[in-house]
Amino acid sequence: MPPVTNFTALQAESKADWQTLIQSQTPHILIGTATCGKVSGAMSILDAIGMTLDKLGLKATVTQVGCFGMCYAEPVMDIALPGMPRISYGFMTPQKAGQIIEDYIINGNPRPELALCTIGQGKVEGIPTFEEMPMLKGQIRIALRNCGHINPLRIGHYIARGGYAGLYRALSQLTPQQVIDEITTSGLRGRGGAGFPTGQKWQFCRDAKSTTKYVICNADEGDPGAFMDRSILEGDPHSVIEGIIIAAYAIGAAEGYLYVRAEYPLAVSTVKHAIDQARQHSLLGRNILGSGFDFNIHVKEGAGAFVCGEETALIASIEGKRGIPRSRPPFPAVSGLWGKPTNINNVKTLAMASYILDNNAATFESLGTEKSKGTCVFALAGNIRHMGLIEVAMGTPLKEVIYGIGGGIPKNKSLKAVQIGGPSGGCLPADMSHIGLDYESLVQSGAIMGSGGMIAMDESNCMVDVARYFLSFVQAESCGKCTPCRLGTRQMLNILERITRGDGRLEDIPLLESLARVIKSTSLCALGGTSPNPVLTTLRYFRDEYEAHIVEKRCPAGVCKALISYTIVNQKCNGCKLCVKACPAQAITFAGKRQPVLLNEKLCNRCGICLDVCKLDAVAVS
């Protein structure tokens, strides 16, 4: 094995730079500018920071970081003063940001009432620490280890926090087989959804006889409701790139592809920048770190097809064809891209692989359950207080995530269901919240881990409508190659649409169940095979809602347009005219000052704008 050079020097230099940054005597201001931050206005906060610093004549280092996971509090700004822990402030506005900088840096008042938590050693009176913060308590961050801590555009930040040490260890101390053995020992399973053992997958590809092999990172996160891959690529791209290089070394590939959605423009540009930087530091390209190992990564932008998340469809797309899956075997490990052995892993899997190589298998293996090791990342969204990205040990009970980390359901409503795993997953009712979040328990409940989207739903969500929504998604995204998926899901969607219109028949329920069985067992790929899951789980746990739609022609949650009507609660309405102005159908008329408005049901198109604008809760849905 040729000697690996340069890395220790690079590491020492990066660590020294990092120490200078975090121990510097000038204040350090960090701002989350991932997509979620930008959507909430982080760029205007960044401008305000610059203007405030100029105005006050202050010197400070400003670093743009990725998302820490607390998306609900975006935009988030952190301030670290010398000798003090970093303080995180949420719900920023340009005014607030300027005021906090002045109050804290100039006058020494950390404004605890505006702070979310402190990060790092030490405590500030009145502010919870990282470990005490409800949303962060109980999290173990492996795939998200650097998100929100480092500037994703600076490779040195990543290296200073232990980055590329796993690759260095692999290249300098381990044979490819030993790398695979370590991954196998760690118990890492594919985080893309199916949970296939990663070590075994790498082994298949290594054992395949061919001089040309490929590694692909599947970053085509098409699952509606999941955004963890985007967040990792935007906040810590090098952890994924390092994982790809390690995988390539293990299986013997000289070329790799990162297939990323074009709908994530920030992730695409961050990743491209990171790849260039890795190449400049001899971590990619010819003769990596002097080890004699050559490897290159190409970035391929997806073109908007959900089915391309399926590995054989993804391969077809890279080859410049329609993204249509093919039957397996042969598996990609034997015959993949251009007929050569190909290994495909998800973003999270690769980010975890680089952690495992740096921290050894035992640390990872000690987390989780007997069969599901390590941690899982979830994107919490829907009707829940703390929306954002979390990472917990496998097997953590669902209720701990919803009520502990997620902070429960807002507006005094109660949890009705949790949708896990996107269009391939299922809806679990509130009384199932004791189940553990690991591959086995989820499959038993009828849902799946999927890519980890988790949508909380309260009593204002109709489960029949949710099932219809997922079916319409699958119907739109089906590639059309196999009949069960193309026509079967069409039939299921027709039936569900009929039920939500109030034209359902009792025999529709057994018909849906039999269609689901056929589609599940005869579809070509997992998109079709798992598409009935949302219908099956809602039928299993919320059958009474289907029956209310069919028999009583009633939508209990007040969602399905054909079955609801809006009324004005006369006791509550004071005739403020907000809804009169907003109503696009001119269905509401002003009756007089202090008198309730009048709603013409014939004109009403049930768009719900009146419900949105009413501040008095005077619009009722029945």
Partner 1 sequence: MSIKTVPQDMLKAVIEGFGRDRANLIPMLQRLQEHLGFISPQAVAAAAERLGLSESTVYSVASFYTQFRFKPVGRNIIKACRGTACHVGGGERILSELERQLGIKPGETTSDLEYTLDTVACIGACALAPVVLINDEIYGRTSTSRILDAVARQKKAGVSCACRP
Interface with partner 1 (CB under 8 A):
35-36, 38-40, 43, 71-72, 74, 221-227, 230-231, 262-264, 300-301, 303-306, 317-324, 379-383, 387-389, 419, 422, 453, 455, 457, 461, 466, 469-470, 473, 477, 479, 582, 584, 605, 607-609, 612-613
Residue 479 Cβ, how far from partner 1 at the closest point, in Å?
A: 8
The answer to whether the beta carbons of residues 538 and 496 sit under 8 Å apart is no
Residue 490 Cβ, how far from partner 1 at the closest point, in Å?
A: 18
CA distance 342 to 205: 7
Specify the residue, 169 or 606, whose C-beta has the smaller distance to partner 1: 606
CA distance 331 to 260: 22
Length of the chain: 622
Specify the residue, 187 or 325, whose C-beta has the smaller distance to partner 1: 325
Residue 2 Cβ, how far from partner 1 at the closest point, in Å?
A: 32
Specify the residue, 26 or 338, whose C-beta has the smaller distance to partner 1: 338
Specify the residue, 106 or 303, whose C-beta has the smaller distance to partner 1: 303
CA dihedral 315, 320, 324, 326 (to 10 degrees): -50
Q: Reduced to 3 DSSP states, what percent helix, strand and coil does the chain have, rounded to the nearest 5?
A: 45, 15, 40
Token code pair at residue 589: 């008329």
- Cα–Cα distance list, 564 to 495, 555, 557, 613, 620 (Å): 19, 7, 9, 19, 10
How many CB atoms within 10 Å of residue 16? 12
Specify the residue, 460 or 589, whose C-beta has the smaller distance to partner 1: 460
Amino acid sitting at position 227: F
The answer to whether the beta carbons of residues 164 and 237 sit under 8 Å apart is no
CA distance 141 to 158: 15
The answer to whether the beta carbons of residues 343 and 332 sit under 8 Å apart is yes
Specify the residue, 512 or 609, whose C-beta has the smaller distance to partner 1: 609
Residue 460 Cβ, how far from partner 1 at the closest point, in Å?
A: 9
Specify the residue, 40 or 203, whose C-beta has the smaller distance to partner 1: 40
Residue 489 Cβ, how far from partner 1 at the closest point, in Å?
A: 16
Residue 334 Cβ, how far from partner 1 at the closest point, in Å?
A: 21
Pick from 357, 434, 7: nearest CA to 174: 357
Residue 614 Cβ, how far from partner 1 at the closest point, in Å?
A: 11
Residue 85 Cβ, how far from partner 1 at the closest point, in Å?
A: 25
Specify the residue, 355 or 470, whose C-beta has the smaller distance to partner 1: 470
485: Cα separation from own chain's centroid: 26
Specify the residue, 250 or 305, whose C-beta has the smaller distance to partner 1: 305
Handedness of CA 109, 70, 159, 64 (dihedral sign): negative
CA distance 424 to 564: 29
Under DSSP, is residue 480 helix (H, G, I), strand (E, B) or coil?
A: coil
CA distance 448 to 372: 13
Residue 171 Cβ, how far from partner 1 at the closest point, in Å?
A: 29
